[in-house]
Amino acid sequence: MPSNFIKSIISGDVRSGQTPQVVTRFPPEPNGYLHIGHAKSLCLNFELAAEFGGRTNLRFDDTNPLKEDEEYVRAIEEDVRWLGFEWASLCFASDYFEEMYERARLLIQKGKAYVCDLSAERIRETRGTLTVPGQESPFRNRGVEENLELFTHMKRGEYADGAKVLRAKIDMASPNLNMRDPVLYRIAHAVHHRTGDAWCVYPMYDYAHPLGDAIEGVTHSLCTIEFEDHRPLYDWVVRECEMPNRPRQYEFAPLNLPNTVTSKRKLKQLVSERVVDGWDDPRLPTLSGLRRRGYTPEAIRNFERAIGVSKSNSIVDERMLEHFVREDLKLKAPRTMAVLRPLRVVVINYPEGQMEWLEAENNSENPDLGTRTVKFSRVIYIEQDDFMDNPPPKYFRLYPGNEVRLKHAYFIRCEEVVRDADGRVAELLCTYDPETKSGSGFSGRKVKGTIHWVSADDAAPAEFRLYEPLVRDGATDESDSMLTRINPNSLEIVQGFVESSMKSAKPYDKFQFFRHGYFSADPKLTTPDRLVFNRVVSLKSSFGV
RNA sequence: CGGGGAGUAGCCAAGCGGUAAGGCGCCCGGCUCUGAACCGGGAACGCGGUGGUUCGAAUCCACCCUCCCCCGCCA
């Protein structure tokens, strides 16, 4: 991993002997699926610890049963593994409920916490504002015994939700709102996905997180910058709860991408309102969506490594992400031919009934991928875009009278354009030159363009799914108009053909379709008799249309 | 005078007092059976601003400007 400020800090701690073994953790709340932004944290935590010979836990921050679900736990585990990370321990904040409860009693005994009967509304009103200090709760000075007893009753579920909370006794006049007697425990008669109905009180993030870190022996607790002003509270909890381990929190800037929804709430909304086809819709930046789209773990990891780590707000150009998939798939994916929008071509001087199998390398830059054969015959399909009636100056594909090369085959010349009743191009009549066969070493004349094609009697029907951003510009802010900015063209479905050699494509099989881009067989829609390819990313093009 | 952060080329981002890495993107040329890839080359910054310290500052000091976060019994 390239140099960054967190790595420098850890490096210093290791060198000074302060940190014999680096321990980090990735702490998702199981209330949604992981997305590309989480991958940044994932990579940071796992790769950094690994670099220093340390370990990383996967810890679910499951302290709010109202929002969490087992489904998310499974999905998150799968995504973390898919990215290629192995956790040292699988942990749950809920595993520590008992210890957290005991530490809370310790806080009460030390006079550092109290049970407050104020309503949520009153607590808000007495918290003060950014510029006005808060007011102390009338329950702030209850005795230790009374607090202990009330807290016990809270735990037993003897009060209604919201009737009471346990608060830290810190400083209602602190300029840092987080220190104004923050709530540590709230009452919730809810069924927890792991502890069932064993608990009626649940710890808040600010209390549970530092304790979870300390219990696990985490040395460096990495989180995003919005938690920066929670750090004094984090330290307070660790100190006042007298935890033997003293983890340190460090904050980094989260990843932002243009035209990308990375708010869990919004992703959830898109899924529940069926704007998309589930959490793994290929248009989503979720890891499961990217996986289904055809992105690879390596591409995502290399991307995360390349964007670096700092504390400044930033928006990373999405072309960077695209660059890293292209780079990863370049040598891995076989390069085959697919015609997305077919135009029929009859090679009029190629004998009817004749055909031949041509040899084609699967990846000219990676011989290990071997070769395959491609059928050539009298009738073929080419791309509609590869023919123009009245081409602009620099167009070197097919047009009346022009000659191009058919990839892996022959030169063909456009002799005649056949039109339908509306005058539109229906098919092309071309001639081929047998002398120009690929691999023959022919050098008699050159041709400017090479186009791809598929023989009509060898073409396997296939569906291609082309994607554009799900939301338009400006849709990443927190305003509620996201649904009004959905891009109606985010998914375009096109029916065309691929070489018959691809009939056996399996889910997630990846190809570079010549001159189109990288495609991946859709895992949900591809069946033995139906081929569906998702376009991962197009090829770059310097051809200005 | 609420508190906490951040400002280095179009976008990320190194640098930590010695005279501006790298990646993405962009432009030009070469090569090419993918207008891809690849290979050359290039443009673009003097480091938010102003003062100051210093032989020398993006790096130190002062002041200023701009942007982001914080008033959930969410995380």
pLDDT for A360-417, tens place per residue? 999 999 999 999 999 999 999 999 999 999 999 889 999 999 999 999 999 999 999 9
Give CA–CA dist A239/A90, Å, rounded: 25
Q: Which residue is nearest to nucleotide B73 (CA to C1')?
A: A186
**pLDDT-above-70 percentage for chain A:** 98
- Asked if residue A405 keeps its beta carbon closer than 7 A to nucleic acid strand B, the reply is yes
What pLDDT is recorded for position A425? Answer: 97
The helix or strand, by DSSP H or E, that contains position A206, with its residue range, turns out to be helix A205-216
State, as a whole number of angstroms, the distance between the CA of A365 and the C1' of B39. 15
Residue A474 has what pLDDT? 56
Per residue in A216-249, pLDDT tens? Answer: 999 999 999 999 999 999 999 999 999 999 999 9
In the complex, which nucleotide's C1' lies nearest to the CA atom of residue A3? B14
Protein CA at A5 to nucleotide C1' at B56, angstroms: 27
Report residue A477's pLDDT band, with 50, 70 and 90 as the boundaries: very low
Q: How confident is the model at residue A480 (pLDDT cuts 50, 70, 90)?
A: low
Tokens (6 digits) for A175: 């300029």
Q: What is the pLDDT of residue A478?
A: 46
**Local structure of A114: helix, strand or coil:** strand
Please list, in sequence order, all residues whose beta carbon lies within 8 angstroms of the beta carbon of residue A288, skipping any fewer than 6 positions away.
A33, A34, A75, A78, A79, A279, A280
pLDDT at A437: 96
d(CA A476, CA A245): 39
Residues 223-252 of A with CB under 7 A from strand B: 225-230
Tell whether the torsion through CA atoms of A480, A484, A488 and A489 is positive or negative: negative
- pLDDT > 60? residue A475: no
Nucleotides of B under 7 A from a protein CB: 2-8, 10-16, 21-28, 33-38, 67-75
Express each pLDDT in A423-472 by its tens digit.
999 999 999 999 999 999 898 899 999 999 999 999 999 999 999 999 97
Distance A3 CA to B32 C1' (A): 38
Q: Which window residues (16-75, chain A) lie with Cβ within 7 Å of strand B? A: 27, 29, 61, 63-64, 66-67
| Residue A307 contacts strand B, CB under 7 A | yes
Q: Is A35 in a helix, a strand, or coil?
A: strand
Question: What number of other Cβ atoms are within 10 A of residue A88's Cβ?
Answer: 16
CA–CA separation, A433 vs A166, rounded Å? 86
Please choose, from the candidates A434, A420, A494, the residue with its C-alpha nearest in 3D space to the C-alpha of residue A463: A494
DSSP alpha helix (H) spans, A5-158: 5-15, 36-51, 70-82, 97-109, 120-125, 144-155
Residue with tokens 């793994």: A280
Nearest 5°: the CA angle A372, A374, A377 is 165
Q: For residue A544, what pLDDT is reported? A: 67
pLDDT at A473: 64
Q: How far is the CA of A8 from the C1' of B60 (A)?
A: 21
- pLDDT category, A173, cuts 50, 70, 90? very high
CA of A4 to C1' of B54 (A): 29
Average model confidence (pLDDT) for chain A?
96
CA closest to B24 C1', residue = A320
Longest dimension (CA), chain A: 101
Report if CB A514 to strand B is under 7 Å.
Answer: yes
Half-sphere exposure of residue A202, counting CA atoms within 13 Å on the CB side? 25
List of A residues 451-510 with CB within 7 A of strand B = none
